[in-house]
Structure 1
Amino acid sequence: MRTYNVGLEIGGKQIKVGTIEGESSNNAQFKYSEEFLSGSFAHPISISLPLQKEPFSPEATRIFFDGLLPEGFMRRAIAGNMHFDEGDYLSILYNLGKECLGALRVYLDEEDKDISYEPLSAKQVEELASEGATKSTELVIKTHLSLTGASGKVGLYYDDKEDSWYLPVGLAPSTHIVKQSHIRLDGIVTNEQLSMLTASKCGIKIPQSFIINMGKGLDSQVLFATRRYDRTFEGAEEYVDGLKLPHRIHQEDFAQAMGIASFDKYEKEGQNYAQRMFEILRLYAINPLEDQLSLWRRIVFNYVIGNTDSHIKNFSLLYKSDLSGVKLAPAYDVIGTLIYESATREMSFNIGGIRNIDEVTRDSFRTMAGMVGLGEKPAIRVYDEVLEGFESAIREASRELSDIGFENATSIGDRILYSRKRII
């Protein structure tokens, strides 16, 4: 029998919420502890895992906790390096689960107290940019960091006063997620920063992000850094190696909240993921109307910019510090995908019953508004606002990036506009 503890950080302090027990990943079950259920923080760690005394099924357990792990090549590389089967999510999670997205971690009874930060030299950061998945896999394993998604990414600590990067060790929290350029997709880092800035100018809340340029702006010399919205310095007072420790904030993506496995993150016929996302916000959000309109604006924007990779793991819920409520997390992983020949024309979930982005119209969004329970007038008003402001927003964002040395931003902006010329 394998038994792992599940811990949660609340206000900088670790509490045990339950255990995962089983002979293997195939039959392991999560169960809330009696102490947690009777304590002052007795709130679910997931909408898909409501408070109950009984253990959850192996399937429900796997879907939520497997959802904390990397996917695709990164997962295969990590599993191979650790000599685990990539389907053994528990072994991988235990070895990576000291620093997950959100505030959860997985550990044994013997607590690891190690916590420190190792300075990264400019050469090490440059290696991370140039060596691709090999270097990021090495750092992920070294830092026991688990980040979802299929792209090469690591969690680092950034001291903006000194413009210095650090590698978190042990239980040390990171402050930024750093992604590498995708060698098969030219200008992807500039594309993402351009898309994020454009989203912000179209009224969408985003985390702070910037490009780390280790050379002349070439794909092999740049990294994309995003400040973690699930980390906060508010109320933080502890220092390690001269650096203030941020507190972790719990979060989950919509796939986890809906009880959907990572491999099913793209909608199939009849699943209507968007309707379920809006229903969750109506039932659980602290400000349900505000969050529904924010989610709607984000869906419209992904359509307008041509992001066909906006699946349900790219939308998340951020919890209050005491777990008593949720709100829609800031936007992330926003990219104009249609400028790449390899991109699909199928949206990640249907818009008014239509998946092919070339067949989506204003009427599709009018139909979708009714399907997800939004009033037609406010929904179409947001649709019109995004469409009308999009071209000026992306051109302004392109100029801003070009002015600080990323000259390819103009051509990428032009390519995005050309790919969307039918609707703009």
Structure 2
Amino acid sequence: MRGSASLVPARVRELQVLLFGRRAGTLTLAGQRLGFRYCAEWLAQPDAMALSLSLPLQAQPFDDHQARPFFAGLLAQVTARNDFARLAHPGSECAGAVRFLGAGQELPAAQAHAVRWLGDAEVLDLLEDRPMRGGTQTLRRALAGAPDRLPVVFDGARIGLPLGGTPSSHFLRAALPGVEHGVANAAFCTALAQVMGLRPAQTQFHAVQGRPFLLVERYDRVVDAAGRPQRLHQEDFCQALGVSPETRYQHQGGPGLAPCFDLLRRAARPARPQLLRLFDDAVFNALIGNHAAHTGSFSLLYAGKETILAPFDTFWSAAVHPALAPKMALAIGSQYDFSRLQARDWERFADGTGFSREHSRSRILELAESLPLAARRLHSAAGRVYSGNAVAERIVALITQRCALTRGLLG
């Protein structure tokens, strides 16, 4: 009789999927399997937009294999074990302009920047992942999305929780457990990226009761002419490529850098400026030891009628922390160990970008020659959280070593 259980229809749960506040389709969960279908009203609009490049506009439904990469990436691994209806929590804030409604729910009435402002003790509760004072749930459990990025509103002085459908403006990011000076690490590497002319997400260092954290400005949020915050749509490269977040690391079977360049070449217009930015981001990540940068670390931002490479969020050096994985998530050529790179690996990297080997070599050398001096100057700057910091000092040493190795291979 054990086999007869498979004959019992799985309970089907549904969520209405909204894009820019309008119903775009229906997400279903039957057992462990997801499904998605655009609604006819959405498809009938002349300006209808697809949720993802991997979910093109069509009347036919998408099965679990097709739907899971986008929604699992958006909702932090949807399964039957984590209450499906929780994803439609009225306060949920996802990446981009997607929102969800459960059965019988309606969008909260529009409110003018409704925010519950928090005191220092409540902010500390968020950082410690403790039940908030006066409540029974932590923000990490109440909101959909990645567990290490907490969506909040920041007005330049106060931190608060968005209410009534108000878009968040920032992500609050604490240090990873067991990673010494992780916040200073990210602050230093992000500032270095700005010095080098890259476009990281705008990041500020803060501390409450001695606990450091970062506030990262959301690039998928804008303020309209009336001063109201609005959502922009975005998706990461795993979602756009139809790759499940479980395989976002190349050495786990996920895509490498070449498919990322191919995707951006197809999606962005004009493509060349965006491809140059992706090139610099990839080389910079390798030189600073950002081994955690994977396919899902890059995103497409749909800004009006333009599709561009989103600002990178957030640069940091994993290589200076011995306890973390020594492998790069994305290989250079066919090599995951930076210390074993050969000139041919950089040539294969260049071939995958679509740029000529000579152009690639010139730009890599330009970055490798200017980066060590920029890092030393930034580390010695007074009044910064990373000024004289031991981890930042190790990052400078690692950058100096890696840049020298690169110049020796390509110079």
Shared fold, TM over 0.5: yes
Listed as ranges, the gaps of 5+ residues in structure 2 are 1-11, 405-411
Offset at 1:134? 6.3
Q: Tell me the equivalent position of 1:59.
A: 65
Aligned ranges for residues 7-406 of structure 1 at < 5 Å?
A: 7-9=18-20, 14-24=21-31, 26-70=32-76, 85-86=81-82, 90-95=84-89, 98-108=92-102, 109-113=104-108, 116-129=114-127, 131-132=128-129, 138-142=138-142, 145-148=143-146, 151=148, 153-160=149-156, 163-216=157-210, 221-235=211-225, 237=226, 244-268=227-251, 272-321=255-304, 324-400=305-381, 402-404=382-384, 406=385
Q: Tell me the equivalent position of 1:241.
A: none
Write the letter of the residue equivalent to 2:218. R
Task: Measure the CA separation in 2 of the matches of 1:91 and 1:254.
Answer: 27
Write the letter of the residue equivalent to 1:102. G
Q: Tell me the equivalent position of 2:6.
A: none
What is the identity percentage for the equivalent residue pairs of Structure 1 and Structure 2?
26
Give the TM-score normalised by structure 1.
0.84
Listed as ranges, the gaps of 5+ residues in structure 1 are 238-243
Q: How large is the Cα RMSD of the aligned pairs?
A: 2.4
Offset at 1:266? 0.4
Secondary structure of 2:319's partner?
helix
Write the letter of the residue equivalent to 1:277. C
Residue 271 and residue 156 in structure 1: after superposition, are their counterparts in 2 closer, same or farther (change >3 A)?
closer
Offset at 1:339? 0.9
Q: Tell me the equivalent position of 2:396.
A: 417
Task: Measure the CA separation in 2 of the matches of 1:196 and 1:67.
Answer: 24
Write the letter of the residue equivalent to 2:398. S
Does the Cα contact within 8 Å between 2:26 and 2:38 map onto a contact in 1? yes
Greater relative contact order (Cα 8 A, min sep 6): structure 1 or 2? 1
Task: Measure the CA separation in 2 of the matches of 1:379 and 1:134.
Answer: 50
Offset at 1:206? 1.5
Offset at 1:121? 1.1
Task: Measure the CA separation in 1 of the matches of 2:167 and 2:395.
Answer: 36
Residue 272 and residue 101 in structure 1: after superposition, are their counterparts in 2 closer, same or farther (change >3 A)?
closer
Task: Measure the CA separation in 2 of the matches of 1:307 and 1:175.
Answer: 26
Task: Measure the CA separation in 2 of the matches of 1:27 and 1:371.
Answer: 35
Offset at 1:325? 4.0
* 278-287 or 361-370, which deviates more: 361-370
Offset at 1:296? 0.9
Task: Measure the CA separation in 1 of the matches of 2:371 and 2:390.
Answer: 16
Deviations 1:301-333 (A, max 9, x none): 011001110011111110123xx4411000112
Does the Cα contact within 8 Å between 2:171 and 2:215 map onto a contact in 1? yes
Larger radius of gyration: 2
Query: What is the aligned residue count?
Result: 385
Give the TM-score normalised by structure 2.
0.86
* 387-396 or 223-232, which deviates more: 387-396
Secondary structure of 1:126's partner?
helix
* 336-345 or 353-362, which deviates more: 353-362
Task: Measure the CA separation in 2 of the matches of 1:183 and 1:49.
Answer: 36
Task: Measure the CA separation in 2 of the matches of 1:190 and 1:171.
Answer: 33
Write the letter of the residue equivalent to 1:183. P
Task: Measure the CA separation in 2 of the matches of 1:137 and 1:287.
Answer: 45
Task: Measure the CA separation in 1 of the matches of 2:387 and 2:178.
Answer: 16
Task: Measure the CA separation in 1 of the matches of 2:90 and 2:71.
Answer: 12
Residue 118 and residue 346 in structure 1: after superposition, are their counterparts in 2 closer, same or farther (change >3 A)?
same
Q: Tell me the equivalent position of 1:240.
A: none
Residue 4 and residue 340 in structure 1: after superposition, are their counterparts in 2 closer, same or farther (change >3 A)?
same
Secondary structure of 1:16's partner?
strand
Q: Tell me the equivalent position of 2:8.
A: none
Does the Cα contact within 8 Å between 1:97 and 1:105 map onto a contact in 2? no
Task: Measure the CA separation in 2 of the matches of 1:368 and 1:416.
Answer: 24
Deviations 1:331-362 (A, max 9, x none): 11211111111122211122111111211244
